[in-house]
Structure 1
Amino acid sequence: MSTDPDLRRTRLVADAYRIADDVLFPAASDVDRTSSVPASHWTTIAEAGLFGIAAPVDAGGPGLDFAQVIEISEVMASGCLATAFTWLQHHGVVIALATTANQRLRDELFAATVAGRLRAGVAYAGVVPTPPRMRATRVDGGWRFDGHAPFVSGWGIVDLLQISARDVDTDDVLAAILPIQQPPDAITVKPLHLGVADATRTVSLAVTGLVVPDDRIVSRVTLDDFFANQNTGIRINGTLPLGVVRRCAALLDVGGHPHAARAVRDRTGRVRAALDAGMTDAATLIAARADGAQLAVDAAATLIAAEGGAALLRGAHPERLAREAAFTLVAASRPQLKELLVDRFSAPPAARTP
């Protein structure tokens, strides 16, 4: 890859479009049917440098601005939602390693995660509810983790897992990065078979007496700071429904429905602007995230109506996209988002169009 920073950033964005349209989308139906992401997908993504898009320039990364990260994420989601969702988890670990005070852990893992030689997943939802599902207790030389992580994606795909827990004494949020090619006996894994994006290899984890040494802790923040930083993650997760919408609009164009495609894209622009505007206000951001999920459902329904009976055949793009739109209603959700969507979908149609 070129050493010119501007050219490098331009190439990353261009490669995301190329990979989404020429590699991921043509294989998306097979990924859905087999519940398996081909190893070649991960190789292609790594060779393009797309595992390192979140790495800051002062850490050797490309130094993409946030808008470029959002664009790449949205485009990748338009190619294959299962691949993109699994890949998306990786970037939180890259950011954690880039900013950690644990220099030894960074030296060990950062370069390999940026290059995609090591793939990473996350399990932080256990600290979101109160009381938390995952707790950490101080022990000699480290921490004992106990609890439950109900949905963890990438099992058997990722090499590393960033697992978060709340300190039983202070409620601070600790995050540890662990190798999981051979999970420790303290972690019990229950596979979950999803009706959509099953290729994410999502599992439920029960953690009992997992002792994590201090040298595996990547971060410790107050609970307030943890929630203050959640807007970035919510905005990134907002790329998932808009990725589905991008693909629906493209297929509407191909199918001879340009006016419908244009209307869907116009709504996408409004939702995207609202997501960006909500970065400094959690309530606005959640409302925009709901708009995006609602739009994905509407766009998939538009595509099915446009294509007719053939759209209902198992494995057809519209049928899969409709299930993927449903996935975006609940993936990486929050209680406020769930309540808002329930209210939206139960309201009269005129009151619910974003």
Structure 2
Amino acid sequence: MAGQHGRVSDIVARARALADDLLFPGAGGVDAAGAVPTAVLDALADAGLYGLTGPVAHGGLAADPGTVHAVAEALAGGDLSTAFVWLQHLTVPAMVAGSPLAEEYLSDLCAGRVRSGIALLAATRPQPVAITARREGEVFVLDGGVPWVTGWDHVDVVLVAARDDADVVHFLLVDAVAGPTLEAVQQQLVAVQASSTVELRLQGHEVPASRLVRSVPLAEWQAADPGNLRTNGSLALGLVGRCTRLADLPGLAADLTDTRARLDAAGPADLPGARAEAAALAHRAAGLLAVATGSRSVSRGHPAERLTREALFLLVFGSRPAIRAALLDRLGASRSGLGAGQDAAGR
């Protein structure tokens, strides 16, 4: 047990070293190429980071939430695209543990030999249902679309949530292989284009019932959702931390400490506001870095230019209506007359 504790306590230091020595020096090249090198993800797997949330019995670290958040923050401060791809994987070992698929998949998931993405939110939002599932004998048949699935070129399986007529959500491991009934359309993003984020379209796509991870009533899943918002906030904190290290912004470092503490202390009811605060701080930090850097910050490929685009991405990534409303209020929408139910594009 002492050895396991040492592995967990050391993992944050390893993540920070990877971020400073590998991810950040290569981030500009990753952004320009529009693809995360497989070798970079291999380095994360070799460091044990793919097993961060997996059970010890299958080679994982079973890290506590604070450790997960610290690792995610460190990696996001190195290269957001790489961190974004890796972060999707963490949900899957945790959900597969205790399922009928544990013995078949968990050891490989924890080692990073099998890498995974997620497509969960589309089926768990209110009507209309984005992805439907119906059971036909020994298969589930999936229809619909998922607008955001990250890491498509780097994953072997995607944990897809699909909803049936009884409002039960079925979580299924779907092979990440395009075909006649499964299409992956590349998204064009202003930032993290290297994350291989696609729109997933399914039409009559059959998944063996043996790939079912679990089934959960929609209301039960939605009730638990607010408590799952903390980890995504670490991406914004990581960007802020990098900005503070690239420019002499001591006040920003203090704000980072305060924002992290608020996120850590927030319960489900307070998390949307804390998430909004983190995203707004990343937006401000990137702006301050641009001003401190001067005219070089508008040169394509400069770190300040990339971080500014990433801060824009983080204003809307992983959002919920309550986060969006809090951000609009924080950024001054109440004074401009723009409400939480609309934006400048009318969406």
TM-score, normalisation: structure 1: 0.90
Match of 1:27 in 2: 26
Match of 2:147 in 1: 150
Asked if residue 64 in structure 1 is aligned to residue 63 in structure 2, the reply is yes
Asked if residue 228 in structure 1 is aligned to residue 219 in structure 2, the reply is no
Match of 1:115 in 2: 111
Counterpart-to-counterpart distance in 2, 1:143 and 1:40: 35
Deviations 1:232-267 (A, max 9, x none): 431111111101001001111xxxx2xx2x211211
Counterpart-to-counterpart distance in 1, 2:328 and 2:312: 13
- Decide whether the 8 Å contact of 2:59 with 2:110 is kept in 1: no
Match of 2:345 in 1: none
Deviations 1:264-319 (A, max 9, x none): 121112221221222x32x3100000000000000011111111101111111111
- Decide whether the 8 Å contact of 1:59 with 1:98 is kept in 2: no
Which of 280, 283, 286 pairs up with 1:297? Answer: 283
Gap change, CA 1:295 and 1:27, over 3 Å in 2: same
Asked if residue 50 in structure 1 is aligned to residue 46 in structure 2, the reply is no
Counterpart-to-counterpart distance in 1, 2:230 and 2:199: 25
Deviations 1:35-76 (A, max 9, x none): 011121011111110100011335542232211111011101
Query: Offset of 1:229 from its aligned partner?
Result: 2.9
- Counterpart mapping for 1:94-109 below 5 A: 94-100=93-99, 102=100, 105-109=101-105
Match of 1:249 in 2: 244
Match of 1:83 in 2: 82
Q: Residue type of the partner of 1:136? A: A
Query: Offset of 1:184 from its aligned partner?
Result: 3.6
Match of 2:189 in 1: 194
Which of 235, 246, 264 pairs up with 2:252? Answer: 264
Counterpart-to-counterpart distance in 1, 2:174 and 2:289: 42
Asked if residue 213 in structure 1 is aligned to residue 208 in structure 2, the reply is yes
Which of 123, 128, 152 pairs up with 2:124? Answer: 128
Unaligned runs of 5+ in 2: 336-347
RMSD: 1.7
Is the partner of 1:36 in helix, strand or coil?
coil
Asked if residue 326 in structure 1 is aligned to residue 323 in structure 2, the reply is no
Q: Residue type of the partner of 1:312? A: V
Deviations 1:106-162 (A, max 9, x none): 222111110011111001121232112111112112321111101111111111111
Query: Offset of 1:10 from its aligned partner?
Result: 2.3
Which of 177, 193, 202 pairs up with 2:173? Answer: 177
Match of 1:337 in 2: 323
Q: Residue type of the partner of 2:257? A: G
Unaligned runs of 5+ in 1: 350-354
Is the partner of 2:235 in helix, strand or coil?
helix
Is the partner of 2:183 in helix, strand or coil?
strand
Counterpart-to-counterpart distance in 1, 2:292 and 2:26: 23
Query: Offset of 1:183 from its aligned partner?
Result: 2.3
Counterpart-to-counterpart distance in 2, 1:287 and 1:46: 33
Asked if residue 316 in structure 1 is aligned to residue 315 in structure 2, the reply is no
Is the partner of 1:190 in helix, strand or coil?
strand
- Decide whether the 8 Å contact of 1:56 with 1:63 is kept in 2: yes
Q: How many residues align?
A: 334
Query: Offset of 1:327 from its aligned partner?
Result: 0.9
Q: Residue type of the partner of 2:68? A: V
